[in-house]
């Protein structure tokens, strides 16, 4: 079946540094990538939607200059948390959408647990 490889699975970084999270679709073309953020015991909150080759669409309240999303190819999308602060510590997970494919159409990465110290 379809697989999305997300790396790293865990990362600890110092406050003020930037962290890049990668999501790679291994055996299909991800026309759309959704990026979610999840705090402990809470729901997945959609941060942004990216389509290959175009700028990402951010949800209300999400700082686009802080959370940089790149979807340069049909198999790779990246989320960069710039100038990370402790409040950015969270679980980030991507989900690839395949327009026109199966009726289900979403494949999730395994998630990245970010801790900013």
Partner 1 sequence: AQKITQTQPGMFVQEKEAVTLDCTYDTSDPSYGLFWYKQPSSGEMIFLIYQGSYDQQNATEGRYSLNFQKARKSANLVISASQLGDSAMYFCAMRGNYNQGGKLIFGQGTELSVKP
Q: Please report, as ranges, the residues that interact with partner 1 according to CB under 8 A.
A: 32, 34, 36, 38, 41-46, 49, 57, 91, 93, 95, 97, 99, 103-106, 108, 110-111, 113
Residue 69's DSSP bridge partners are 79
- Closer to partner 1 by Cβ: residue 28 or 108: 108
Lookup result for tokens 């759309």: 32
- Taking the C-alpha atoms of residue 87 and residue 84, their distance in angstroms, rounded to an integer, is 8
Query: How many Cβ atoms from other residues are within 10 Å of residue 67's Cβ?
Result: 20
- Closer to partner 1 by Cβ: residue 38 or 70: 38
- Closer to partner 1 by Cβ: residue 18 or 57: 57
């Amino acid at each position: 079946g379809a697989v999305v490889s997300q790396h790293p699975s865990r990362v600890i970084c110092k406050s003020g540094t930037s962290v890049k999270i990668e999501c790679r679709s291994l055996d299909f073309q991800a026309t759309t990538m959704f990026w979610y953020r999840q705090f402990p015991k809470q729901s997945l909150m959609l941060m942004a939607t990216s389509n290959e080759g175009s700028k990402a669409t951010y949800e209300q309240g999400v700082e686009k200059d802080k959370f940089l999303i790149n979807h340069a190819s049909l198999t790779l999308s990246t989320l960069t948390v710039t100038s990370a602060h402790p409040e950015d510590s969270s679980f980030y997970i991507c989900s690839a959408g395949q327009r026109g494919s199966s009726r289900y159409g979403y494949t999730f990465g395994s998630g990245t647990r970010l801790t900013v110290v």
